[in-house]
Amino acid sequence: MFSGNGKISGRQMFRLLTFDLLGFATLVIPATLAGFCGRDGIFCIAAGILAGLIFLKLMEGSVKQMTGTYPEYLEELLGKFAGRLIQACYVVYLVLLAGYTAYLFSGAVVKSLLREESYWLVLVLILLLAWYGLASGIEGRARIYELLFWLVLIPLFLMLASALDEIDADYWAPVFMSPPKDVLAGSYYVFVCMSIVFLIPFVGEYAKRRESLVRAGRAALLFTGAVCAVLYLILLGIFGSNALAQMEFPAVTLMSTVKITGGFLKRADAFMFGIWFFTLYALLNGSIFYGEMMLGRLLGRPAERFMKKKGGQVLILVCVFAVAAIFYRNSPMAGLYEKFLWYAGVPFLVLVALLLAARRLFLRKKGGKRAGLLLLVLFAASGLSGCASAELEERNFPVEMAVRNTGDFTEAWLDVGQSGNRVIDYSHMKVIILEQEFVENAGKMEEFLAFLEEKSDVPRSTYVVVAKDAEKIMELGDGAGESVGTYLEDLFENVSEIKKTAYPTLGMLYQEQENRQETLWIPYVAEEDGKPAVTDYYIWKRGTPDGRVESGAALLSYFTQNELDNYYIKLDQNCTLRLFSPHNRISIEEDGKIAVEIVCSGELMYQQPGEGKSQEELEQMAEAYMNAVAEETLKGGARADVTNSFKKLGGDRREWYRFYEKEPERFEEDMEIEYRADITWVNL
Amino acid sequence: MEKKTPITGLLSENIAHMEELFHECADIKKKQFQLGKNMDVPCYLTFIEVSVDTGTSALGELLKYLGSIDKQELYRALQNNALDISDATYFDTIEDAAAGLLAGEAILFVDGFDRAVKIPDDGYPNMGISEADSEKVIRGSNEGFCDSVKQNAALIRKRIRSPKVKVKQVKKGVRSNTLIYLVYMEDLVYPDLVREIERRMEGFEIDGVLDSGVLEQLTEEKWYSPFPQFQTTERPDRAAMSLLEGRVVLLSDNSPVGLILPTDYNSFIRTSDDYYNRWEIASFARLLRYVASFFAMTLPGLYLAVTNFHTQILPTMLLFSFADARSGVPFPAVIEVLIMEISFELLREAGVRLPGAMGNTIGIVGGLIIGQAAVEANLVSPIVVIVISFTALCSFAIPNEEFATAFRLLKFLFIGLCAWLGYFGMLFGLLAVLIHLAHLKSFGIPYLMPYVGADVNDFEDERDFLWRQPIRKLTRRPVYARREKRTKLTFPDRTAAGAKRR
């Protein structure tokens, strides 16, 4: 009466296409693009979207001219043989696309949600769900995504908004550093992902108004492009280009990194995986749906009965399972498929669109049993796999871990829970205490970080500290009144004047292994009054250990980078300056000197105003103090840059950046730092 | 078609037919007596005991009247339907007369008159109009439907005093001959909708229709779905509201539950007082009900997924308190949840079946004493008791019992999926339910309306879905009503002022 006509509206088409595009675009584009051209990837997204729009324009004529179905149109315009050949190619393309999506989808589920579950079980369940989804036809599919659209996107946008706070804009620059060839390759890669809009003519026969089809496609492309661009900038701003390029699913990793305000949820990565669950399902379901449609039309009348009895769906699903199984068993085959897409698949799509355009120029279509069967298979499948997870009370949740130089670090990994017969769950690890000797053993440290990153059981947000005797620090829990991990976490997050986002975490160490741009100041913990306390800092320079320094240098570095609220300078026995509310600026001058303009408020402590020095004199003294500390840190034993200028100023001076990128060892040697204070005094 | 026996002028013949039909029917009274001033007209009155009052009722008055006039005048009055009562119906066949008798009316046969006269009276006894047991509201009428289809139709008509309210009568049940009323607004309803429900009613034959629930199950499209495709109501105001939306209300005799069609997810979440209260609180309550419908289905599963698979989601301190609470419980979490859920369902079932006061006692005994004892005996953890209680609260917050039942059942599916596959199981279940809902329709209306296909009614239905816009903004009827008749609220003064300005 009101529905059941097999037609969908413009809004439904837009949402359907957006979901088809969004999964691939947000899951695979960021890492691959960062690998191609790093910070310039954002331009590749723009170029890729533009290419997608041109592709859409090419297809517009076909969509407008079609009166029946797309297969009919192909035969009408190109002749029966060519039309059928193209249809056969489409079936192969759609089956491969569905197979690759199923492979990627199952892999992502296993990696992100069910690490100990069978890949095959997940794959079978996903395909069963896709098969159940086919029963609802195009209208049912359209309704699902019409409803899910904002339910999925609002949480995504909220998470992206939460991530804004953790962006380090210095990772965005410098740009225009990649060779044009890489930018072109990156742009083409984005276009390959966006080429899913080739499905538009397929939707033609189901559209209420054909004229709205291309409009919906264009809107979906632009919307996905915008989401992808914002996501890319956020990922780049948080992980840096090199680290981003090494990640498999950076968007999922981002969800585990973002700290959610309010503290009800510690991490939302599992919840947020729903975004990719629904979007990848959309593409999988869509590919199978159109593949079946195309196969039915291709086989024609003799196969009609077979197709009517859903034999076509089963055939396509078996093929999809086989393709996904091949990709899983033989990962080089998945790489080969990517090459196929690159060199043959997408060119084929473009070629068909071009062919149709040239030809035009020259010439001036149920559920109860299915649901029951799905439940039956689910029930049977539950016998294949037990509820493998351990009960809550059968697990240990270590919150701190000491890593020593003696023996194999994996022992620390196993000993940390002291679990006996319990399963160790590292998901609530708060602090890793690295023994100084261990940190300075570059090979072991690198191996350790690679091991943790590979296992990915420990949260990326785990704080990292260094200690002379890690075991001794672990024993200080009694004095602190709570576990050392919880004590140090509270110390960093609630007591310290350094912003909590500035403290080095495990994720930052992973990133610096790849980015090699930044100087991290790792808290050095020692016993003080029977409790653990930060006494010094340990420098982690461009992914390598660089020695211990006094707190003064680290605090100046945090203050210089606006990461410390209050910075104290003791001028003499009775005179201390408090500098606060910093809005400092770091720049590079013509001669290569790094200029730091300290713009903040200041007050004179422990001395009556007017009794001592003038504002100018105090500013000069502050400048001199900071210059001395910076100089000492730069040219002394540590040889560290308190301004983190290499990371921050690459965008300002590209040649300078390029030079030291090649010769990092000369950086601290060549550089000069000058502090200039512009203090607004509150009690003078 | 069954051959019918015509009523003849010979009273003895008619009596013989009636006696044959109703032999060994002790509850049916059959009286032979004489009418007319001279007591010269033999007659036969038959009626079901209790359903007819021969004293001061219309029947009593009629008999007095017929006993006071002479023979010619009596036949003249019978011929001309001048019996001084408004609803005397004449039957030409014995079978029709028998049906009239079984409908609870008195049937009068008069010698020499070849038709039987049905004289309306009290009809069958029923509980009368009482307060609706379900769908309680804070504001608005508490009148509820009763067992009599006629009284129920009158309760609707009391609210919409318009000749456009049409009532179609259908009899279903080969043996029960149950009276079914199809009530609708003639100018608002899609004629196809009325034809469709009539077609579906004609599509089956059953011996007895004892409640509207039988009709519901025999006329719904997707019989395997846990979700109801008819909306049920015990409230005449709700039924009237539905009629004004262009929907059809199906009333069955002996049933205090009316069926509303078509329906959708959103309609089940709406309550009558959503429209009697201010929009802010109505919207808030509605949003709360949507959240409740989600958690009624997923919360125990979500608890299992988070505690067994994705512990990283919870804040550490909360996780530790969960783990502490579970220490000493001898069962795996999934068994613990299932024990509590099944116990809760048992308590609920026992509470419903037991008499009123005892039902309440069961609630207290179950909830407080057994629950506390189970926790103290370390059979279940306090966290699980909280989770199950919250889930129960959520299911009670869903205004429609049949609809809430769907979520209660699906909850067990989610428990199984989440215990097995964690959050992936949750996503799997959610998508499967969503696919099913996207596929589901009620008389052609997508079940997810207006979350899907809102463009069909120019997005007007989106003014009354997740939240309810101020009543002055709800100027259009929902998609169920005929397109050209969808305006339901106008402001003549404002329209006139607008015209003047132009």
Tokens 């039957």 -> residue: B91
The answer to whether residues B342 and B213 belong to one domain is no
In a domain, B497, yes or no: no
The answer to whether residues B160 and B98 belong to one domain is no
What pLDDT is stored for residue B4 in this prediction? Answer: 86
Mean pLDDT value of segment A190-219: 88
Q: Which chain A residues are closer than 8 Å to B436 by Cβ?
A: 367, 371
Nearest residue on chain A to B429, alpha-carbon basis = A129
- Percent of chain A beyond pLDDT 70? 89
- Percent of chain A beyond pLDDT 90? 25
Number of Cβ pairs closer than 8 Å across A and B? 170
A521: three-class secondary structure by DSSP: strand
Measured CA distances, A636 to A519, A543, A547, A643, A655 (Å): 15, 20, 11, 15, 27
Residue A368 has pLDDT above 60, yes or no: no
One digit per residue, pLDDT tens: chain B, 502 residues?
A: 567 889 998 999 999 999 989 888 888 888 899 988 888 899 999 988 876 666 667 778 888 888 888 888 888 888 877 666 656 788 999 998 998 888 888 899 999 889 998 887 767 777 778 888 778 888 888 899 998 898 899 999 999 998 899 999 999 998 898 999 999 999 999 999 999 999 999 999 999 999 999 999 999 988 889 999 999 999 999 999 999 999 999 999 999 999 999 999 999 999 988 899 999 999 999 999 999 999 999 999 999 999 988 888 888 888 888 888 888 888 889 999 999 999 888 888 888 887 777 777 777 777 778 888 888 888 889 999 999 999 999 999 999 989 999 999 999 999 999 999 999 999 999 999 999 999 899 998 999 988 888 888 888 888 888 889 999 889 999 999 998 888 989 888 776 666 666 5
Measured CA distances, B335 to A194, A479, B329, B341 (Å): 47, 41, 11, 10
In a domain, B406, yes or no: yes
Question: Can you tell me the distance from the alpha carbon of B331 to that of B381, in angstroms, rounded to the nearest whole number?
Answer: 10
Cross-chain residue pair B428–A129, CB shorter than 8 Å: yes
Mean pLDDT value of segment A398-402: 87
pLDDT band at A365 (very low <50, low <70, confident <90, very high): very low
The answer to whether residues B256 and B141 belong to one domain is yes
Q: What is the mean pLDDT of chain A?
A: 84
Q: Which chain B residues are closer than 8 Å to A147 by Cβ?
A: 434, 438, 448, 451-452
In a domain, B271, yes or no: no
Is B239 in contact with B259 (CB distance < 8 Å)? no
Is A119 in contact with A329 (CB distance < 8 Å)? no
What pLDDT is stored for residue B246 in this prediction? Answer: 94
pTM across the whole model: 0.79
Closest partner residue to A389 (CB to CB) among B308, B329, B416 is: B308
Question: Can you tell me the distance from the alpha carbon of B137 to that of B235, in angstroms, rounded to the nearest whole number?
Answer: 10
388-447 in chain A: CB under 8 A from chain B? 389-393, 395, 397, 399, 425, 427-428, 430
The answer to whether A148 faces chain B, any CB pair under 8 Å, is yes
Cis peptide bond prior to A609, omega within 30° of 0: no
What pLDDT is stored for residue B498 in this prediction? Answer: 63
Q: Which two tokens stand for residue B457?
A: 């009614």
Nearest residue on chain A to B481, alpha-carbon basis = A2
Closest partner residue to A3 (CB to CB) among B308, B314, B441 is: B441
What pLDDT is stored for residue B391 in this prediction? Answer: 94
In a domain, B454, yes or no: no
What pLDDT is stored for residue A7 in this prediction? Answer: 81
Nearest residue on chain A to B459, alpha-carbon basis = A11
Segment of A116-120, A463-467, B491-495 carrying the highest mean pLDDT: A463-467
206-225 in chain B: CB under 8 A from chain A? 222-224
Last residue of a domain, one of B229, B263, B297: B263
The answer to whether residues B60 and B103 belong to one domain is yes
Residue A671 has pLDDT above 60, yes or no: yes
Spell out the alpha helix ranges (H) of A5-40.
10-27, 29-37
A576: three-class secondary structure by DSSP: strand
Tokens 């829970």 -> residue: A417
What pLDDT is stored for residue A380 in this prediction? Answer: 60
Residue A468 Rama label (left phi>0; alpha psi -120 to 50; beta):
alpha
Contacts of B195 (CB under 8 A, 6+ apart): none
Closest partner residue to B452 (CB to CB) among A117, A146, A281 is: A146
CA atoms within 13 A on the CB side of A78: 22
- Which one is predicted more confidently, A292 or B414? B414
Q: How far does A393 lie from chain B, in Å, by closest CA?
A: 5
A323: three-class secondary structure by DSSP: helix
The per-residue b/e assignment along A124-134, b for 16 or more CB within 10 angstroms, e otherwise, is: bbbbbbbbbbb
The answer to whether residues B155 and B37 belong to one domain is no
In a domain, B451, yes or no: no
The answer to whether residues B74 and B34 belong to one domain is yes
What pLDDT is stored for residue B94 in this prediction? Answer: 92
- Determine the distance from the C-alpha atom of residue A396 to the mean position of all C-alpha atoms in its chain, rounded to a whole number: 29
Question: Can you tell me the distance from the alpha carbon of A508 to that of A542, in angstroms, rounded to the nearest whole number?
Answer: 11
In a domain, B299, yes or no: yes
Q: Which chain A residues are closer than 8 Å to B465 by Cβ?
A: none
The answer to whether residues B435 and B350 belong to one domain is yes
DSSP strand pairing (A585-588 vs A594-605): antiparallel
Q: Please report how the helices A10-27 and A80-112 are oriented relative to each other, as an axis angle in degrees rounded to 10.
A: 60
A532: three-class secondary structure by DSSP: strand
Nearest residue on chain A to B336, alpha-carbon basis = A391
Last residue of a domain, one of B228, B263, B298: B263
Total domains, chain B: 3
The string of DSSP letters for B323-336 reads: HHHHTT--S-HHHH
Mean pLDDT value of segment A462-487: 86
The answer to whether residues B257 and B294 belong to one domain is no
Closest partner residue to A2 (CB to CB) among B308, B421, B444 is: B444
Last residue of a domain, one of B95, B119, B143: B119
Q: How far does A366 lie from chain B, in Å, by closest CA?
A: 9
The answer to whether residues B68 and B181 belong to one domain is no
In a domain, B167, yes or no: yes
In this prediction the ipTM stands at 0.73
Nearest residue on chain B to A423, alpha-carbon basis = B308
Number of H helices, E strands in chain B: 17, 12
Residue A418 has pLDDT above 60, yes or no: no
Domain that holds residue B113: 11-119
Q: Which chain A residues are closer than 8 Å to B438 by Cβ?
A: 136, 139-141, 143-144, 147
Contacts 24+ apart (CB under 8 A), A606-612: A606/A574, A606/A575, A606/A576, A607/A574, A607/A575, A609/A683, A609/A684, A610/A684, A612/A575
pLDDT band at A231 (very low <50, low <70, confident <90, very high): very high
The answer to whether residues B293 and B356 belong to one domain is yes
B210: three-class secondary structure by DSSP: coil
Residues A329-358: tens digit of each pLDDT: 988 888 888 888 888 889 999 999 888 888
Measured CA distances, B401 to A212, B232, B304 (Å): 42, 9, 26
The string of DSSP letters for B4-50 reads: PPBP-S-HHHHHHHHHHHTTT-TTEEEEEEEETTTT-EEEEEEEETT
The answer to whether B435 faces chain A, any CB pair under 8 Å, is yes
Q: List the B178-185 sheet strands across, edge first.
A: B165-172, B178-185, B248-252, B258-261, B231-233
Least confident of A285-289, A371-375, B224-228: A371-375
What pLDDT is stored for residue A616 in this prediction? Answer: 85
Mean pLDDT value of segment A386-415: 72
The rounded radius of gyration (Å) of the Cα atoms in chain B is 29
Question: Can you tell me the distance from the alpha carbon of A169 to that of B298, in angstroms, rounded to the nearest whole number?
Answer: 40
CA atoms within 13 A on the CB side of B382: 7
* Mutant choice from A14, A106, A131, A143 vs B, greatest count of B C-beta within 10 A: A143
Q: Domains of chain A, with CATH numbers? A: 10-382 (1.20.1740.10), 392-549 (no CATH), 565-684 (3.30.300.210)
Closest partner residue to B310 (CB to CB) among A11, A140, A270 is: A270
Cross-chain residue pair A11–B308, CB shorter than 8 Å: no
The answer to whether residues B258 and B222 belong to one domain is yes
161-190 in chain B: CB under 8 A from chain A? 190
Nearest residue on chain A to B480, alpha-carbon basis = A2
Cis peptide bond prior to B262, omega within 30° of 0: yes
In a domain, B71, yes or no: yes
Amino acid at A269: D
Residue A414 has pLDDT above 70, yes or no: no
The answer to whether A371 faces chain B, any CB pair under 8 Å, is yes
What pLDDT is stored for residue B439 in this prediction? Answer: 87
What pLDDT is stored for residue A191 in this prediction? Answer: 93
293-352 in chain B: CB under 8 A from chain A? 307-316, 319-320, 322-323, 326-329, 332-334
The answer to whether residues B432 and B296 belong to one domain is yes
235-254 in chain B: CB under 8 A from chain A? none
What pLDDT is stored for residue A401 in this prediction? Answer: 87
